[in-house]
Amino acid sequence: MSGRTQGSREARTLAVDLHVHTDASYDCEMSVEAVLARAAAVGLDAVAITDHDSVGSLPRAFDIAHEYGVRVVPGVEVSTADGHLLALGVDDPPATGRPLSETARAVRESGGLAVVPHPFQTFRHGASRRAIRDVDAVEVYNAHTLTGFRNGQARRYARREGLPGTGGSDAHRPALVGQAYTAVSVAADGGVTTDAILDGVRAGRTVARGTRTTARQYLRKYALNARLKTASFL
């Protein structure tokens, strides 16, 4: 998926899935090894591990990422009072239950990147327009959708507000890693680093790409979620 573009300064385009879960999330059974193996197989340069309110998989991911040739971007999907928020480039999970704008400011003050995932999808804890404040980017392509209607809404919103758009698979199973991703333009001589990726997103040097899940994949995800949630209460 990587490539190069020519201009006044040579640049490299990285393929980064900015929204992936592992078994550190309550609704996922996918191992770090499975994530990295799939990311390498589909040609991703990097993957952001964004478990629900947890960074439990990050130490293992950092330890073994070199074996797969894939950069791991640290992150977490935070449960705010107004919906979910991706905190990228952070090593510790932000406090939960605070307003989204307050959480986003805290993420930014710590040097991280605040990205709103699956906005407007309230049944998936997506934030409303009113709640989206002080963020760095909006996820405009989330692979877990049947019609693409909400992705279209998110894309139009990001364009209207002048916010960078990102893509992420929201994968909970290996086959979905990389199904949506962000093409990020970085300096050709800078290497595949977390700082370069986050700086590229902040600057809006992004293109969201991907394909939607099939109806079968969509239903399997929510069947798995329901089973794991039920098991957690037993």
pLDDT for 90 equals: 97
Q: What's the domain range around 88?
A: 11-231
Question: Is residue 2 a part of any domain in this protein?
Answer: no
Question: Is residue 198 a part of any domain in this protein?
Answer: yes
pLDDT (tens, 9 = 90+) of the chain, 234 residues, equals: 655 444 446 899 999 999 999 999 999 999 999 999 999 999 999 999 999 999 999 999 999 999 999 999 999 999 999 999 999 999 899 999 999 999 999 999 999 999 999 999 888 899 999 999 999 999 999 998 766 788 999 999 999 999 999 999 999 999 999 999 999 999 988 889 999 999 999 999 999 999 866 556 555 655 555 555 555 545
CATH code where residue 179 lies: 3.20.20.140
Question: Is residue 5 a part of any domain in this protein?
Answer: no
pLDDT for 172 equals: 94
pLDDT for 42 equals: 98
Number of domains in the chain: 1
Condensed to tens digits (0 to 9), the pLDDT of residues 76-116 reads 999 999 999 999 999 899 999 999 999 999 999 999 999 99
Question: Is residue 94 a part of any domain in this protein?
Answer: yes
Could you tell me the pTM of the whole model? 0.88
Question: Is residue 163 a part of any domain in this protein?
Answer: yes
Rg (CA), the chain: 16
Question: Is residue 4 a part of any domain in this protein?
Answer: no
Question: Is residue 6 a part of any domain in this protein?
Answer: no
Question: Is residue 107 a part of any domain in this protein?
Answer: yes
